[in-house]
Structures are given as structure tokens and as C-alpha cells.
Amino acid sequence: MTNAIDIGADVLAAAGRARAAAAVLAVATRETKDAALYAMAGAIEANSAGILAANAEDVAAAASGSGESMLDRLRLTESRVAGMADGLRSVARLADPVGTLVRGSTLANGLELRQLRVPFGVVGVIYEGRPNVTADVAGLCLKSGNAALLRGSSSAAASNAAIVESLRAAVAGCGLPPDAVTLVPGAGREPTKHLMRARGLVDVLIPRGGAELIQTVVAESTVPVIETGVGNCHVYVDAGADPGMALAIVVNSKVSRPSVCNAAETLLVHRVIAPDFLPAALIALDEHGVTVHADERVRAYRPDLVTPATEADWATEYLSLDIAIKMVDSLEEAVEHIRRFGSGHTEAIVTDSQHAARRFTASVDAATIMVNASTRFTDGREFGFGAEIGISTQKLHARGPLGLPELTTSKYVVIGDGHVRV
């Protein structure tokens, strides 16, 4: 228990240091913050060799027990390090959300009311795998005036430490507090638990990773959480779809990057379009190496290319070259299926019917509804936000790709001239 208390005290002390740094960052000018971001980029490049050496340690330690895809996410290369630096510079070029006017008015009694964007304070981020997230998150938090309290994967501990050391030195060199970028100290799960309970010291917690991580944080955290990332995304091919367009969108949604949250997992096909669409779709998916899990009506088209689907398939986020396919008798049935199984991330309809598009976008409850476009477009960079810290699938605060404005809260400033309330 002594050990647990020590770990708790260490985590709270780190959060307290981040909090003190946040008070300084909150009033830093864009000029100062951008200078720090360019310095951070320069430091990452200058310390590239050291970062790669630390990463080599992590990769060597993980090599025996990990699959190649995990090692690939963990591994840094010269070009990935350069990518981190470029990312920091591109964040410097983005507009500063802090101080933006959200709304303003002069009230009937002459009070001047302004609602301004202000930083949260301390943003905690719990993430897995890729060490470049460390630099991305630190940069986005600093630009939005927040201190970043980072909890990366233990498998990337040496890489993250090397990256953070470079970033902190650069921040300090620009006259900002180095605790603007703070790693949660300690190994194992205990420090993460203390981070999740640091209500009052940490203003918001963002988990980035698999469904299990996110569910744990949502269930255990007393710090307010922005839930990200689980995407059981559907493409609905309506009766009024162009079969060629539908095929291109389905293939792109599924195969262009199957491991990410905006990849499609289930295809819903209106029975009227099925004869014109399904045979070619099943062949194309097969040619791309996709395993199809489908209901009997779909399977009837090409039993040789289709595995029978079970109830579990509708609820599964495969994140792999698998897709579930179901035939539906109506747009309403598609909407109902999505209501039951969707995760509120991205839902697409392919149709040439204005009426169908309008009903689908109004009825489906998700962060993003795509009409005649691939689910893969749900992305901060694609949306023109310049960068993203994750994709929110919750309704509170932010929904969809989280850009810089979503890393802020607001403050009302009300100016009077001795006004009292009657």
C-alpha cells in the first residue's frame, strides 16, 4: 500500500506541475506558443538520433512478444521522426482558438456580454502504441493553451521519454514552463488509475486506443472524459444508388485502411439494387482479399464467396479485411439496423435520391453522416482542421474529429459600469 500511495502522490504531483504550467500557457500569446512549436520541431530533428536509439530499445524489448503490426506501430524511422517535426510546424501554422469570440451581444441594460474560447487547463491523454502521438498531442495541447499530461504505452516508454525530454527543453528555451509537456510517472496500471481520479487537477481526459482502453477510462474515470474512436461504421447502398459509385465507395471504405476507426465494417444493401450491385461487389471485395460475412439473401448470390453471418458480426468492429453484409427491404430497416448496432462514428448512404439522402441524414444518429462519399473521410485533416487529437463518438462537448477548438472551453466576460440586478 505504501507503494500505491507513493505512486498516487507522484502522479498528483506531476498533475499539479502541469496545472501550474497551464496557468502560464493560458495567457501566453500566439506568438510565444508558435515559437515554442517551431522550437519543439527543431528539437525533435536535432535529437533524432537519440530518439531513434531509445525507440530501438523499445522495439527490441517488445520484439519477442508482439506481432508485426504492433511492432510497426511502435517503430520510429527517420521519416517518422521528420513527420513529427512537420506535424508540430503545421500546428504552429493553424489559427489559435484561444480568445476566439463564440458569441457576443450588448444586453438591454447595457451590459456587454462576450463568450470567449479559453483553454481547458490540463488535458490528460491516455494512448497506446505509436510514440509519434506524444509529439502530436503535445503540440495540439500547447497551441490551444493547455498543458499535456501524457500517459503513453509502457511498450513505448523509452521513446516517449526521449521525445518528451526534447520537447520540454524546447518549450523552456522559449520562456514557457517545461511542465507544459509532462509524462505521468511510474510503470504499470496504477499510475493510470490515479490519473483517472485526479478530478480538479486534470480538466479532461482523452483515451486514444482500442475499445477496451476506452471502456475502462469511461467506467473508472471521475475526470470528465471525451470518448474517442470506436467505429462500427456502415455503408448503406440505397435503392436509388448508382451501382458503380456504390462499389467504389464500399471498396474504398473497407480496404483503403482497414485498421482504422473510420473504415466500414458493415454493408447494408437495399434488395432492389442488390441484383445490379451485389455480384460485382462480392467479386471486387474478394479480389481485395476481404472476407465477407453475410445473411442468407446475400449469400444466395455467391455462396462460394460468402461466410454465413451470425448476430455477433453485426456488432463487430473488425478492423481487418472482413465485412458484414445484410440485405434490407427499406431505408427504414437500414436506419433501424444502424440504430441498433452503430457506434455513432460514421454512417454512409449511397443514393441519387434527394428524398432518401434527407431521410437518412435526419434519422441516423452519428457524429458524421456521409452522402455519396467514403466513410474514410471522417478525419481532422480531411475536414480541414489541420490536425486532430482523436474522433469523438460521444455527444457531450465534441462530436466527430477533435480539432483545436474542441480542446478549449469558454468563459463569459461581462462588462458593466456599476450594474446591479433589480
Residue ranges that bind a copy of itself, judged by CB under 8 A:
23, 26-27, 105, 107-108, 111, 113, 115, 118, 120-121, 199, 203-204, 218-219, 222, 224, 226, 242, 245, 248-249, 251-252, 256, 339, 357, 361-363, 365-374, 376-378, 382-384, 394-397, 399-400, 409-421
Residue 119, C-beta contacts closer than 8 angstroms, at least 6 positions apart: 22, 25, 26, 98, 144, 145, 146, 407, 408, 409
By beta-carbon proximity to a copy of itself, the closer residue of 250 and 274 is 250
118 touches 410 (CB < 8 A): yes
229 touches 261 (CB < 8 A): yes
**Assigned C-alpha cell, 275:** 441484383
Rounded to a whole number of angstroms, the minimum distance from the CB of residue 414 to a copy of itself is 5
By beta-carbon proximity to a copy of itself, the closer residue of 186 and 390 is 390
Rounded to a whole number of angstroms, the minimum distance from the CB of residue 135 to a copy of itself is 24
By beta-carbon proximity to a copy of itself, the closer residue of 70 and 248 is 248
Longest dimension (CA), the chain: 80
Rounded to a whole number of angstroms, the minimum distance from the CB of residue 312 to a copy of itself is 18
Rounded to a whole number of angstroms, the minimum distance from the CB of residue 348 to a copy of itself is 9
**Alpha-carbon dihedral sign for residues 225, 397, 40, 73:** positive
Rounded to a whole number of angstroms, the minimum distance from the CB of residue 396 to a copy of itself is 4
User: CA dihedral in degrees (132, 94, 386, 395; nearest 10)?
Assistant: 100
By beta-carbon proximity to a copy of itself, the closer residue of 14 and 407 is 407
By beta-carbon proximity to a copy of itself, the closer residue of 22 and 309 is 22
Rounded to a whole number of angstroms, the minimum distance from the CB of residue 107 to a copy of itself is 6
Rounded to a whole number of angstroms, the minimum distance from the CB of residue 176 to a copy of itself is 16
By beta-carbon proximity to a copy of itself, the closer residue of 242 and 322 is 242
- Buried residues in 94-122 as b, exposed as e (16+ CB within 10 A): bebbbeeeeeeeeeeeeeeebbbbbbbbb
CA atoms of 232 and 341, how far apart (whole Å): 7
Where residue 238 falls (left for φ over 0; alpha for ψ -120 to 50; beta otherwise) is beta
CA atoms of 141 and 119, how far apart (whole Å): 9
Backbone phi, then psi, for 160, in 5-degree steps? -60, -40
By beta-carbon proximity to a copy of itself, the closer residue of 224 and 303 is 224
